Structure 1
Amino acid sequence: MGVGFPVMRRAQVAEAEAVSRLLRDAGRDLQMKGYQNWALPYPLRAIREQAQQGLVWVLEERGEFLATLTLDYDLPAEYQAEWFSQPQASAAYLHRFAVTPSRQGSGLGRLGLREAERITRESGRAWLRFDCYSRNPDLPVFYQRQGCTALRQFEMVLPSLGQPEPFTLFEKQVSEML
C-alpha cells in the first residue's frame, strides 16, 4: 500500500470488483464527454481471470486505486503484426488504461504510462503497444506527448459501439532489443 505517493502493483483477484468500479467510473465519465467506447462495462469475470494471471495492475495511494491498466504479451486479434515498425520484436500490449475521473489531469496518466513502460522493460520486452479511440482527440495527443509513435488508424467494432469505429495504433520502444 502506498504511503503518501502512488505505487504501481499487481491487482489481487479479490480486488477485481474495485478495478471494475474504476473502469465503470471512467466509462461513465467518457460517456458524459460524448464517447461511447467504454459504455459497456468490461466483464468482471474477465478482470478476475486476468488478475489471476498477474496481468492487471493498479496505481494505489493510501489504499485508494487511482488508475488501472492491463498488460499482456500476446498480439491482440484486432492487430496485424506487420503494422508495427519491428513486427517480430518482443512487446507488451496495454489494455484498459484508466485514471479515476476525479484525479484526471493531475499527472497520473503520465505516471501510469511510465509504470507500464517500466513493467514492459522488466518483463524483458522492448516495445509497449496499444490503441486508443481516435474520436477522442485528447488521447492521441496525450500519447504523442509521452513519446509514443502513432502508427496508423484502423477500424474495430466494440460491443458498446456496434459498428466499426476508428482507433489509433501506438507503440513506444522502452528498451533496446533483447
Structure 2
Amino acid sequence: MVSKVLVATAQHLQERGQALWPPEVLTPERLLKHYPQETWRVAWENGQPVGTFCLLRADPFFWPDDPAGEAFYLHKLGVHPAAQGRGLAQKLLHFAVQETREAGRPWLKLDTASDRSKLRALYNDFGFEDVDERQVGAYYVVRMRMEILP
C-alpha cells in the first residue's frame, strides 16, 4: 500500500518533469530494507491509501552527528495524485509533529533534494527551517528542522 502511493506520486511528478524518486527504489522490498514497517504512517480515504510518510527514530546517514533521542526524522512524504490539492500533505505533517511531541523529541527533521523549490517551500511554509545544504552520498540535499514545543 505504501509503495503504491509513492509510485503513483513519483510517476505523477515524473510526468510533470519534476522527477523525485526513481520508481525502482519504491518497491515494497526496497522500502522495507531501509524503512521498517512500523515506521510507516498511512492516510486512508474510502478504503484506499492516499498518503504516507515514514518517521524514523534515528537517521545516521543524513544526520550522523545528532545525539540519540533528539529528533524524529521524516522520510518519503507522498500524496497520491488523486488526493492532491486538498491539504493532505499538511495534515500528514501535523500528524508527524504530534507524534514527535508525544514522544518528547524536541526536533522533527528531514532532508530533501536541494533543487526541489516547491517541496522546500511546502516545508518552509509549514514551519521547517533550513539547517544546511550538503552532499550526502550521491544526493545533494537541504537538511531542515522544526522545533517541537511541548
Instruction: Answer yes or no: is 1:77 the counterpart of 2:57.
Output: no
The residue aligned with 1:154 is 134
Instruction: Answer yes or no: is 1:111 the counterpart of 2:94.
Output: no
Equivalent position to 2:141, from 167, 175, 178:
167
Q: How many residues align?
A: 147
**CA distance in 1 between partners of 2:129 and 2:86 (Å):** 23
Q: What is the percent sequence identity of the aligned residues?
A: 26
The residue aligned with 1:28 is 11
Amino acid at match of 2:41: W
**CA distance in 1 between partners of 2:2 and 2:68 (Å):** 32
Matches within 5 A, 1:61-140: 61-81=45-65, 90-140=70-120
The residue aligned with 2:29 is 45
Runs of 4+ in 1 over 3 A off after TM superposition: 46-49
Q: Tell me, yes or no, if the aligned pair for 1:57 and 1:69 is still in contact at 8 Å.
A: yes
Q: Which consecutive residues of structure 2, in runs of 5 or more, have no partner in the other structure?
A: none
Amino acid at match of 1:36: A
Q: Tell me, yes or no, if the aligned pair for 1:149 and 1:171 is still in contact at 8 Å.
A: yes
**CA distance in 1 between partners of 2:40 and 2:144 (Å):** 20
**CA distance in 2 between partners of 1:33 and 1:114 (Å):** 27
State the 1:65 CA deviation: 1.4
Q: Tell me, yes or no, if the aligned pair for 1:78 and 1:156 is still in contact at 8 Å.
A: yes
TM-score (norm 2): 0.86
Cα RMSD (Å): 2.0
**CA distance in 1 between partners of 2:25 and 2:68 (Å):** 33
Structure having the higher helix fraction is 2
**CA distance in 1 between partners of 2:90 and 2:75 (Å):** 15
Q: Tell me, yes or no, if the aligned pair for 2:131 and 2:142 is still in contact at 8 Å.
A: yes
**CA distance in 2 between partners of 1:113 and 1:72 (Å):** 14
Q: Which consecutive residues of structure 1, in runs of 5 or more, have no partner in the other structure?
A: 1-17, 158-163
TM-score (norm 1): 0.74
Task: Report the 3-state secondary structure (helix = DSSP H, G, I; strand = E; otherwise coil) of the residue aligned with 1:78.
Answer: coil
**CA distance in 2 between partners of 1:81 and 1:43 (Å):** 30
